[in-house]
Amino acid sequence: MWASNLYHRPKLTRSQLAVIIPLAIVHTLGNLLTNVSIGRVNVSFTHTIKAMEPFFTVLFSVLFLGEWPTFWIVFSLIPVVGGVALASFTEASFNWIGFCSAMASNVTNQSRNVLSKKFMVKNEETLDNINLFSIITIISFMLLVPAAILLEGVKFSPSYLQSAANQGLNIRELCIRSLLAGFCLHSYQQVSYMILQMVSPVTHSVGNCVKRVVVIIASVIFFQTPVSPINSLGTTLALTGVFLYSKAKQLKPKPKGGESLKVAE
């Protein structure tokens, strides 16, 4: 977009870059850890664990933004996390690497979201949400290229690709699916950043919970993953928690000392 002048090119200062680099690092780690988890356990289980992120968001919003949620908002998040825990109780594909990777991705992704929110509220005219995410993506790409070449580079050599093709691997289909997956992931994260600028990190995180419920159901249907009654009950509890949160958002805190309390959304 910058090259074609479809979007204005940002003018970065050193102070801005010093803030963006840590965001890019945690962004990279979050995506990396998510993929590690998906490689170890079922897709549905990874996203079930990642649905616990609202509590991390509340914690980081307090620590980094000084935003305190109301009692009812915190209370409404209990069934969300409780439902996730219940759904995970009978997970057949459970292993500690997959579990810890998904949990660590919660920490990194929510740190990124909260810190990004802190950065965006400064209202930098030349660095809006689109430019911020674009720069983070470019830095993330630069961080991952050396690791990808070191770990996977040999697999793209002509001899290796020919050997894989002889064993039935469709190289063309692999490339098309990889490009499509990359485009979809980038589009999702770009839209996610646009939404993050308009809402609080907690609202953004609970919206992700709804997304994860859809992903869990879709993956169960697509991969025909066995689902126990406890798993179904856990998903129902999580959805109930999201509904309660939407109701808690409508409750306004009572004025204190003649002034309204400023509470995080």
* Among 43, 30, 26, CA closest to 106: 30
Q: What is the pTM of this model?
A: 0.74
Check if the beta carbon of residue 58 is closer than 8 Å to that of residue 202.
yes
Q: Of 118-122, 151-155, 210-214, where does mean pLDDT reach its minimum?
A: 118-122
* 7 located within any domain: no
Instruction: Return the closest-CA partner of residue 52 out of 22, 20, 85.
Output: 85
pLDDT confidence of residue 253: 59
What is the per-residue pLDDT for 55?
77
Cβ pair 143, 26 in contact under 8 A: no
Does some domain include residue 5? no
Q: Is residue 265 part of a domain?
A: no
Question: Higher confidence at residue 246 or residue 218?
Answer: 218
Q: Residue 249 in contact with residue 77, Cβ under 8 Å?
A: no
Residue 227 domain-assigned (yes or no): yes
The pLDDT assigned to 205 comes to 63
Give the mean model confidence (pLDDT) for residues 194-213. 72
Residue 109 pLDDT grade (very low, low, confident, very high; cuts 50, 70, 90): confident
Inter-CA distances, 232 with 5, 85, 205, Å: 49, 12, 22
Residues in the chain: 265
Q: Is 264 a domain residue? A: no
Tell me if 162 is assigned to some domain. Answer: yes
- The Cα–Cα gap between 162 and 48 comes to 38
Q: What DSSP character marks residue 61?
A: I
Rounded to whole angstroms, how far apart are CA atoms 261 and 253?
Answer: 7
Query: What does the mean pLDDT of the chain come to?
Result: 78
Q: Residue 161 — very low, low, confident or very high, per pLDDT cuts 50/70/90? A: confident
Residue 137 has pLDDT above 80, yes or no: yes
Query: How far from chain centre, in Å, is Cα 185?
Result: 11
How many domains is the chain partitioned into structurally? 1
- Helix 96-120 and helix 43-50, axial crossing angle in degrees, nearest 10: 50
Asked whether residue 99 is assigned to any structural domain, the reply reads yes
Main-chain phi, psi angles of 113, to 5 degrees = -65, -45
Neighbour count for residue 236 (Cβ, 10 Å): 15
User: Cβ distance 263 to 69 under 8 Å?
Assistant: yes
The dihedral sign for the CA sequence 257, 260, 264, 265: positive
Q: Is the pLDDT of residue 180 over 90?
A: yes
Containing structural domain, residue 176: 16-248
191-220: b or e for each residue (b if 16 or more CB lie within 10 Å)? ebbeebbeebbbbbbbbbbeebbebbeebb
Is 134 inside any structural domain? yes
DSSP single-letter state for residue 256: B
